[in-house]
Each structure stands twice: as C-alpha cells, then as structure tokens.
Chain A
Amino acid sequence: MIEITNLTKRYGSFTALNDLNLTIEKGTVFGFVGPNGAGKSTTFSILATLLAPTSGTAYVNGYDVTKSPNEVRKHIGYMPDFFGVYDQFKVHEYLDFYGASYGVPSKERKAIIPQLLELVNLTDKRDAYVDYLSRGMKQRLCLARSLIHDPEVLILDEPASGLDPRARVEMRGILQELKNMEKTILISSHILPELSEMCDYLGVIEHGNLIASGNVNHIENQLQAQKVLQVSVKNDVEQAVSFFEDDPNVQQIDRDKKDELLIHVSYDGSDDEQIELLKKAVTQGIPILSFTQKQSNLEDIFMEITKGGE
C-alpha cells in the first residue's frame, strides 16, 4: 500500500506538488489524472525514489522513500512516462539484464521471462532487437520489465500515452490482468476515460494540488452535485420560466442563446423530485416538447474542474 502525507516538492519558488495526502490500499488501482505538468510525474518520481521531496513523507509498503529507498525499490515496479531502451539488446536479454539488476536469481529469471513475454504478448519477439520494436511493443516490454522482480506496487506513468487505439486496448487488457493479480497499481494519464474504466479510485490533480479524490462514482457525484435540465416548449416560454422558478430545487435558469424556446435549468433535486417536477409541469399545462437531463461525462467534469488553470 501507499501512504502519502503532506508531500510537497518545490523548485525554488515554483511548487510542483503542494501538500499531497493520499492513501492507496493494497490491491486497488488508483488513477491519477490531471493536465500535463500538474504534478503527477513529480509524485511518481518521489515514490520511485528518484526525487527527494521538499517536505512530507511517502511510504510504500511501510517503507519511507527517503529513509529506506532500497527497500522501496524492491517493492515497486516503475514505468516512467518517457524511457529509452538499450538498442543493442534483444528482448529476452533486456528483461534478463533488469532481472539481474533487481537481484532475481538466474534460474528464476529463466522461468519468469517467458511468462512475462506471454503476459505482454511479445513471445514471438523474444529474439528481436529491442530497437526494432514498435512504440506499443516497447511500452509493453517496459511494463514487463517493471514486473520482473514481482513487485507488489506498480507505478505506471502514462503507460498508454502515444499509443494507437489498438495498442491502447491491449495495454488496458494487460492492466486488467495485473489488477486480477492483486497488484496495487498507481497509474496516471491526462486522458480521463482511459482511467475511469479500469480504476477503482481516481485522484484529480492540478497545479500540484489534489482537487478531488475518491472512487469513480463518488468523484462523479462530488463534482456533479448540480445537474442541468434542458426544457424546450412549444410556446409561452415565460410561463415555463416562472413555473420552474417557483421550484425550490431550481438554482438558476438560463435561456438558450440561439433557441428562444429552450431553457437550461440548473437543478439539484433527487431523481424522484425530478419526476414529480415534470408531472407537475405537464398537469399545469406547460407545453413541454422535450425534457432532458444534459449528459455530462467524466471528461466534461475534468474539463470543468481543470479549466481554472487555463
């Protein structure tokens, strides 16, 4: 598991990470989402013992990243957002080298490498030179590399970035399998739908601040307390406006800029109250043509909450 308390990283006057608090339980998949430069990679680098925090603490499986970095390294598999490969290595040699670097005995390496290649679907590339692999294959190879010492915690920084849709789906499948293996996975992306499908929990980070975190539904609710109802009427829009204004759950009414018979009603009542509202409107003879709740997905919410920084 991962425990982060008041973690801060400053570069001079620039704060890359501000007072981050986060607990990720064993076996969960936590998605870190935020625009580029929000502090995701900084957090990951600290957890991977590559960067010293300015203040605060971070524990991986009970080991402090600043005090026992070597123990932390044993427990994490780290995949950076940008990485290179030793181009003169063959695929199996590449994995063997890192296995040896993690202190995995030679016999175990021989046994585990075929399994990892199987997992990431690179068995037929065993003897290919790493340099000749496609981007997606390299990405998968790097993921296999981060698993070579069977770490409990995986820190994957944008594992799907730069991949074509097909490679993305493959990557997602592999992550699903890792999730089934009960690994604790911390994964980041600047694309939200990519994460919402496979994560148990999400954290939204911007300008070094964690602005929302919790399980995927919770985040949706937390950020979507207010829904918007779109109501269009055949005529007499004034009557409709005055009717909706009377409802206590209606916060605000905006007229559509183009369609004068369409109004946007900001509503924070429950689903049942919403049904009652419609019934009442119909009984009172308001000529409703359509009554729809505006669909907003996580991507919209993400855009909504992070637009302040633009």
Chain B
Amino acid sequence: MNKLSSLFINPVLNKEIKLRFRSFKSFLGILFYLAVCAAVCLAFIWIEGHNRNGFTANDSRTLFMLLSIGQMGLIAFITPGLTAGAISGERERQTLNILLTTQQSSMSIVISKLFSSLAFLVLMLVASLPLYSLVFLYGGVSPKMVLITFGLHLLTMLMIGSLGVMFSTIIRKTMVATITTYGVMLFFVVGTGFLYIFLGEIMYNLNQNPASTNQRWLPYISLMLNPGIVLFNSFEAGGLDYALQRMGITWPIWKGFTLSYIGISIFALFVSIMRLRPRMRSKKVKKKAS
C-alpha cells in the first residue's frame, strides 16, 4: 500500500507539478483556451437562439458534440507535445543522470512524468466543465453522456501520453520523439479511419464469397482504435450498428476501445520503465573478494 501511494505521491511528481504550474504562462494558456471555448459556445447559442425556434435541446446536444470533438482534437494535438519531451527533455538538460542516481524507482519516475505532463491537460478539461454546464441549462444531454465523453477524453490522453513518454525514453532527441509521437497519434486519429475504409472495401468484396471470421476483425480493430469514431458512437447510440453488422461483430466498440487503449498504455509504460535505466548484466560474474 505504501509502495502504491509512493507511486503517486512522490518527489518527482511534486517537482514536476510545482515547476509546471509555477509559470504564469500556463495560466494565461488556460485563460485563453477557456475564452475561445466560451466565445464559441456563446456565439453558437446566440446564433441558434435567433434562428427559427430559439435554442432547443437539440441545439444544445449539437453544441455539446461540438465541444467534445473540439476537446478531443485538442487532446490529440497537445498530448504529444506535452509528453514526448518528458524523459528526453531531462536528458537534453543533463538532469536525467542525476535523477537516475537517486532512490526513485524507474516506475515512479515514468509514471510521475506522465501524470504531471497530463495534469495540465486535465486541468484544462476540468476548467472547461462550467462551459458544459451551459449545455445542461438547455437540456438534451445526460450527465452520463458527459461522464462517458470525459472518460473517452482521459483514455485517449493516457494512451497518446504513454506513447509520448515511451518515445521520449527510447529516442534520445526530444524533436525526433515529438515527431514520432505525432505520427503515431495521426495514425490513431486519421490513419485508422482510412484503414477501416480500405479494409472494409476488401472485406465487402470478400463477403461476396464466404468470408472467414479473422478478416472481419481487422476493420473492427481499426474502427475501435479511432477515438473520433468511438466518441461519435457514444453520441449516437447505435450509429455504428450497420457497420458492425456488416462485420458480423456484436461486441460493443467502446469495450474494444477501452481495453486496447489501456493495453497500449500499459505496454508503452512498461517499455519506458524497462528502458529508462541501463539493463545491468555483467558477463563475468565473480564472487566479491572479502
């Protein structure tokens, strides 16, 4: 238990959060972000409010979707930048070696780095919650939906962030690690969509003949890895029913998304933890002379 708590409450995390939130720029960033979001929301409400029947519950729902998709995009584009320098940045600033000679375990360093990098983004999301309350005023969205959306945001952040930390650990230069993370992020956000269409076409052609089960899983996997599609599916329950039916799979897509994102995150963090310090193996093992 003590070990577990020290994983989350430790000097590295403390330090990171202290340094990250010490600068005034961070708060200006949040102010700017909220101002833009609020402006979009108010403008949307104002425009819709002056149209036809005023601002309806349906409009409110649309606004919610707009906000959620916007924030998903924000997460996808900010997370690599925040995390891909987590370890390589310390290496470049020549502070990593000293940190590695302390008593901090590789696991606590890696996890603290990830959490502290994501803390800023989480703060942005939490700070935007009052904007969501605007949506609630007009109805059309259930609290459950908000929670699901928030959960999807967090999972996406965790997965991209873990990959960012992994690349930051195994690649020496922050620049290269950042580009790699952006590349992988684009694969998940955009690439999987194209992959689905491509694989779907093949599957459709094969479907004319008796198709094997394996081939149906491929488009499903590329679909479930796409955070945008999963988010869309959470707004429009059953929106993907037809696509899933074509693939012959009834397993809910959010389950596949959750499991695969948690799995990828664990894998990426595991690689980071194993690669942070050198693997000590001496070929000639001799007994200590007394």
Question: Which A positions have Cβ atoms within 8 angstroms of B?
Answer: 3, 5-6, 45, 48-57, 59, 62, 64-67, 69-70, 73-74, 76, 78, 80, 82-86, 88-89, 93, 97-98, 100-103, 142, 145, 149
Contacts and interface: CB of A to CB of B under 8 A. Distances in A.
Contacts of A97: 11, 14-15
Q: Determine the interface band of chain B, counting residues with CB < 8 A from chain A.
A: 20 to 34
B100 interface: yes
Given A5-B286, A82-B94, A83-B94, A49 B22 contact: no
A73 B101 contact: yes
Given A69-B277, A82-B94, 13 more contacts: A6-B284, A45-B97, A51-B278, A55-B282, A66-B280, A66-B282, A80-B97, A83-B97, A84-B94, A93-B18, A101-B102, A101-B103, A101-B104
Contacts of A76: 101
A102 B281 contact: no
B289 A3 contact: yes
Contacts, number: 97
A50 B97 CA distance: 7
B99 interface: yes
Question: Which DSSP category, helix, strand, loop or mixed, fits chain B's interface?
Answer: loop
A84 B95 contact: yes
Contacts of A64: 288
A55 B95 contact: no
Interface string B81-98: 000000000000111011
Contact of B12 (A45, A74, A89, A101): A101
A88 B16 CA distance: 10
B23 interface: yes
A88 B22 contact: yes
Contacts of B289: 3, 5
A88 B23 contact: yes
B279 interface: yes
Contact of A67 (B95, B103, B279, B280): B280
Contact of B285 (A54, A57, A78, A100): A57
Shortest Cβ-Cβ A-B pairs, 6 listed = A100-B11, A84-B94, A101-B102, A66-B280, A84-B93, A55-B284
Nearest to A48: B101
Contacts of A66: 280-282
Nearest to A72: B101
Interface string B49-76: 0000000000000000000000000000
